[in-house]
Amino acid sequence: MQETDSQSQEQATAFKAASAPAKSRTLWGDAFKRLRKNKLAVIGVCWIIIVVLVALTADLWAKPWLGSPTASDSTTMAETSLMAPCAEHPFGTDSLGRDILVRVIYGARVSLSVGIMATAISTVIGLVMGALAGFYGGIWDTIIMRCADIFLAFPYVLFVVAMIAVIGRGLQNVFIAIGILGWPSIARVFRSAILTVKENDYVDAARAMGASDARIVMRHIFPNSVASIVVYATMNIGGAILTESALSFLGMGVIPPTPSWGSMIQDGQQYLLTAPWMMIMPGLAILSTVLAFTLLGDGLRDALDVKMKDA
């Protein structure tokens, strides 16, 4: 009797397990699971989070501990200028006696804001242009893609420098220039994705049911094309940070004394032999942050690959 009861319980348990609804799997859920297994991508995410938190909370602890990132004290400049890294100044000081660590921290605000805002602008413009070119084709495709070819024919940094020379220096103008001139690549990626997706049966069905073009693009095409855009936009943030650093190094970026990683490297180049930390520290900040966004972009590309959905 006991064996019969135990067998009945096992059969009932197995029946419940078999009849229970299977957990739904989504592209983003599967992608997140695969991303967590990518150690390099996780390292990139962790470093980005650290940089963002440090930059956002700098006013609470960096200034009281390390001093102002812009102001210099003329009475103590002779004693504090060009100090090597030590316990009081972990990254050393610059020629004006300002702590380099606090300037690197506040420079992260500039780099991250430019990277995020410029990428947002270029992504929005690129999505609109790519949607018009890919969905409607014809004359729209010809005009937009030829405009993109013209933009891509010029050296990117030189084009940004020329635009900054026209609209003027300043943080706002920097991310506007980088954002406006960065749309062609996004447009090409989104156009290619639309050309792949728009011939599917569910798009034809939506069109047959009377859905508007905007609804078809936003509800059916964009969700199935967004993966490639997310990957490309993530990598573009690192590229925008590099471009802003190059502009600041050339004197075309943010206006001093606002700290920027590029301008810090430019200030330290004349002290390369006597105070190399003035260039090394902001250079390492640029390297680590851009590398983190690149690792995250590579991880997202692998995680969002539908061919790996069963991995």
Q: How far is residue 194's CA from residue 72's CA, in Å, rounded to a whole number?
A: 54
**Is 290 in contact with 241 (CB distance < 8 Å)?**
yes
Report the phi/psi class of residue 254: left, alpha or beta, with left for phi > 0 and alpha for psi in -120 to 50. beta
**Is 284 in contact with 265 (CB distance < 8 Å)?**
no
- Nearest-CA neighbor of 105 among 70, 140, 143? 70
- Nearest-CA neighbor of 96 among 253, 250, 257, 251? 257
Is the peptide bond between 257 and the residue preceding it cis, with omega within 30 degrees of 0?
yes
Predicted pLDDT at 216: 81
Report the phi/psi class of residue 82: left, alpha or beta, with left for phi > 0 and alpha for psi in -120 to 50. left
**Is 185 in contact with 192 (CB distance < 8 Å)?**
no
The secondary structure of residue 219, as a DSSP letter, is: I
Tokens of 47: 């470093």
Q: 226 pLDDT band (50/70/90 cuts)?
A: confident
Q: 7 pLDDT band (50/70/90 cuts)?
A: low
Check pLDDT > 70 for residue 4: no
* Residue whose entry in the numeric block shows the structure tokens 């959905």: 309
Predicted pLDDT at 218: 80
Q: pTM of this prediction?
A: 0.84
- What's CA 3's distance to the chain center, in Å? 62
- What's CA 132's distance to the chain center, in Å? 25
* Residue whose entry in the numeric block shows the structure tokens 């010029």: 154
Predicted pLDDT at 70: 87
Predicted pLDDT at 28: 66
Predicted pLDDT at 20: 45
Q: Which residue type, as a one-letter code, is found at position 118?
A: A
Predicted pLDDT at 208: 84
CA distance between the termini of the chain: 45
Mean pLDDT of 78-92: 90
Q: What angle do CA 199, 201, 202 make, to 5 degrees?
A: 105
Q: 9 pLDDT band (50/70/90 cuts)?
A: low
Check pLDDT > 70 for residue 62: yes
Poorest-confidence range of 103-117, 118-132, 199-213? 199-213
- What sign has the CA pseudo-torsion 112, 116, 117, 122? positive
Tokens of 235: 């990598």
Predicted pLDDT at 196: 82
Tokens of 174: 């920097």
**Is 100 in contact with 93 (CB distance < 8 Å)?**
yes
- Nearest-CA neighbor of 250 among 179, 174, 152? 174
Q: 5 pLDDT band (50/70/90 cuts)?
A: low
Higher pLDDT, 307 or 29: 29
Higher pLDDT, 308 or 266: 266
Predicted pLDDT at 27: 60
Q: How far is residue 236's CA from residue 230's CA, in Å, rounded to a whole number?
A: 10
The model's pLDDT over 88-114, given as tens digits with 9 standing for 90+, comes to 899 999 989 999 999 999 999 999 999
Check pLDDT > 50 for residue 10: yes
**Is 264 in contact with 100 (CB distance < 8 Å)?**
yes
The model's pLDDT over 239-271, given as tens digits with 9 standing for 90+, comes to 999 999 999 998 888 888 889 999 999 999 999
- Contacts of residue 8, defined as CB under 8 A and 6 or more positions apart, other chains included, come to none
Q: How far is residue 278's CA from residue 82's CA, in Å, rounded to a whole number?
A: 8
Average pLDDT of every residue of the chain: 85
The secondary structure of residue 70, as a DSSP letter, is: S
Poorest-confidence range of 105-109, 176-180, 232-236, 302-306? 302-306
The model's pLDDT over 19-50, given as tens digits with 9 standing for 90+, comes to 444 455 666 677 788 888 889 999 999 999 99
